[in-house]
Amino acid sequence: MHINEMAKTLRKNLTDSERKLWKYLQAKGFEGLKFRRQEPIGNYIVDFVCYEKRLVIEIDGGQHMEEKSKDGVRDKWFREQGFKVLRFWDNEVLTNIVGVLELIRQSITPSPHPSRQGRGSR
């Protein structure tokens, strides 16, 4: 099966946690940003991506306990492409959606107290 066909199948069969998070991300409902779900990027399919903020969001189920090294390689590749990767356990999304959304918001919003580093010498 081609990666685009696999992504289409995954979009039709979201997990409960993916469906819950998608309710907040779809239709520019989160900070006015466009997110895509089950999106092919390179040789991978990500759960969610916001190209504007170069942010990939992955929702991990129990199978990821055994796949930590694969996830590390994958995350490294995305960082090399200029993406930030956020990973959440599916039970986090199901039981603490407010906290998950806050972490996503913090990752896309510049700090209100920027570092003074690089602002000239005094």
Q: Looking at residue 122, what is its pLDDT?
A: 40
Quick check: is 98 in a domain? no
CA-wise closest residue to 108 among 44, 25, 45? 25
Residue range of the domain that includes 30? 1-63
- pLDDT of 78 over the 90 cut: yes
Q: Residue holding tokens 């960082």?
A: 79
Quick check: is 97 in a domain? no
Quick check: is 86 in a domain? no
Q: How many domains does the chain divide into?
A: 1
pLDDT per residue as tens digits for the range 23-60: 999 999 999 999 999 999 999 999 999 999 999 999 99
Quick check: is 45 in a domain? yes
Residue 61 backbone phi and psi in degrees, to 5: -95, -170
Quick check: is 27 in a domain? yes
Quick check: is 5 in a domain? yes
The pTM score is 0.84
Quick check: is 58 in a domain? yes
Quick check: is 88 in a domain? no
Q: How confident is the model at residue 74 (pLDDT cuts 50, 70, 90)?
A: very high
Q: How confident is the model at residue 79 (pLDDT cuts 50, 70, 90)?
A: very high
